Chains A and B, each alone.
Chain A
Amino acid sequence: MLGLTTTVDDDPLARRRRDRRLFGGLVAAAMLALLTLDYLGRPIAAVLAYWTFVVGAGVVMYRSDVIMDERDRALERVASHRAVLAVGAGLVVLGPGIGALSEADVYDAPALVDGVLLGWVALFAVWGVAYGVTRLQR
């Protein structure tokens, strides 16, 4: 048997658990600090604490070589693909439909819906740029 062995001192599974817990803890702390300090009427401190914890989580994510393995990345790819399909389908169905209903004086959607549709369009714009860059790289 070939020797791709690990030592107890450098157990990648233990490091993965530690890094994942650290990452999750920092994200949870960021949300908790934001909500708590905002509730206590200290909005600037809330944002500062939030960004401190978020930057910490980012550092953990960036520095860890074990926090995600190839299956995690594959899951992310599939989930992202499904999310884009769902948003695309929503945009195709709702985009022209909402406008037509409004023009026909049948239904006026609240402004929030326009904002959501605009957000979806922006998402696809970002996706298009990301796709183009990725295609150039491969």
Chain B
Amino acid sequence: MDPCAAQTLSARPAGPSRSTYILLGAPNVGKSVVFHRLTGTYANVSNYPGTTVEVARAPLRFERESTLLDTPGVLAFPSRSFDERAAMRALLDEGARALVQVADAKHLRRSLAITLTLAEAGLPLVLALNMSDEAAARGVRLDLPALAQALGIDVVPTVATLGEGVGRLGEAMRAARIPRARVHYPPAVEAAIAATAQRIAARIVPLPFAARALAILLLARDPEVEQWLADRDADLARELGASRDAEEAGGERYAAAIAHARAEAAGTLAARVELAAPRPVESRAQRLSRLALHRRWGVPILLAVLYATYLVVGVFGAGTLVDLTEERLFGGLVNPAVTAFVEAHAPWRWLADLLVGPYGLWTMGMTYAIALILPIVTTFFLVFGVLEDSGYFARLSVLANRGFAAMGMNGRAVLPMVLGLGCVTMATLTTRILATRRERLIATFLMALAIPCSAQLGVVLGMLAALGFGWTVAWAAVLVAVLVLAGALAARLIPGRRIALVTELPPLRWPVAGNVVKKTTGRLVWYLREVIPLFLLGTFLMWLMDRIGVLPWLIERGEPLVTGWLGLPKEAAAAFVMGFLRRDFGATGLFALGSALSPAQTLVGMVAITLFVPCIASLMMIVKEQGTRVAALIVAMIVPLAFGIGGLVRLALVALGAWT
């Protein structure tokens, strides 16, 4: 679910309708901007491949009864990534009236490879050659009439950011034609396509698009098409799969032959219509882009970015803003007024307690969500949006690749992991950008274990900073060590192979303020809508457990572990129970013990509470993304790990003579 999306596929219409247009294209071609121009609604606009994880839908401006679907970026079909699979699902399920391909005019060859693939579907198609201003500035000249003639469809140059060509694109969409261009595959592949297509057409009616395209995708092992066929005719799916496997065992490699033939055909067509190819330009952005990966400057630039993030989120967000909202606004004004009002009007004592008591929905739940977390996640999402829109994350994934390789993933996992420092719940959802289920599982587990969210980070850093920088470094070192060791272990234990990183590096650019504001707003709306109800649920459970006596019982049960093994005062047991419902509550609970803890005890407590299970909202997201069994397994591993490592840190401190 994309927080910025207008609506997602979950709101899919009951049956196929021929009034849906589908927008498709490679990542970073301005597809979401075209979507906005055509519908007036914002989807996800970003400069990082793979951030639109689902499909947005909105009515068209020029044809209100029709809708436009914005799909995630597609590098090629057959679908391989989560994004490509979502786009393929849209093609299979939506019964599109026409397809609209948005392409980067500067990269004609790559764009045409997708055009030729879409042409196989036999659906009306329009090609929008976007960023045509940038292409012209780089000296690109195209014979557009010849291109339109060769493809048999309308080709419209656009500059979506300025709205140029969008009117013409709308007209072309209404009059969209079925393309005549066709890729010719090697004879053996053509024979297999024809045989497969014939069998599909004979057994399944109606088809979402041309049987030939379905046959090509099946031969190339598109998982979504395989699933689609299995859902309709399991016998046919098995038979076709078996005959393909047998032919491939005989030496035919369909997927590679198909990709190769398409690339060749696209190259030939591009060469025919490209009157002048783009000139290489050494722009300032390009020089900066290269500096960001420079072997001497890459790491200092990364450290500067991290420091700037800390200043905005840690110092300004968690410090200045939280001081304003929590202390002055809520502590000084709002909460006394709400409490007085409820105390005066609540007909029953328990109701007043539920609303404004120590575990009150308002005094604990809402105060926490609005006064403490909201300022922190707002500043975090703002910085995240700036980095995302500038294209820096692609560089970060390259810089971090080696570290992530040790944990069985590739550098792409840096995006959810960094987002996890803001909100682990949202980051768990973002693991969808990772290519395999194995990588998603490792990333989800590591985030649940060792990535503190902004709220927890604020409390933990506040407590450790009061003790001195050395204690903060020790805490961070333990966490990084746990992250790397647990990652290395997970990489060995979870079956499957690691996927090497191949990534495009879009040019760095100044972030567009509008994009950043819209993405931040979208994420905040998502946070308010999805996460706050879960906080309230957590608070309610705390209240209920306190009321029926479970809370004191749990605290009593946990005491031996907390006092004996971790060496903390018995009151700290309550903090861990609270931490089970909301991760940072635990840290706050230890914070409340304040001077009762020695510096060494604080370190042990902070390590254990950071590693301890994530908040209830994250846990529910893990259930949603990975299933109940995996979520239960993750919790079953994290609880002993958190206490085990906390205790080991205590033993290490005892051995070093630092335990007092």
Note whether A and B form a binding pair: no
Q: What is the interface of chain A, defined by CB distance below 8 A to chain B? A: none
Q: What is the interface of chain B, defined by CB distance below 8 A to chain A? A: none
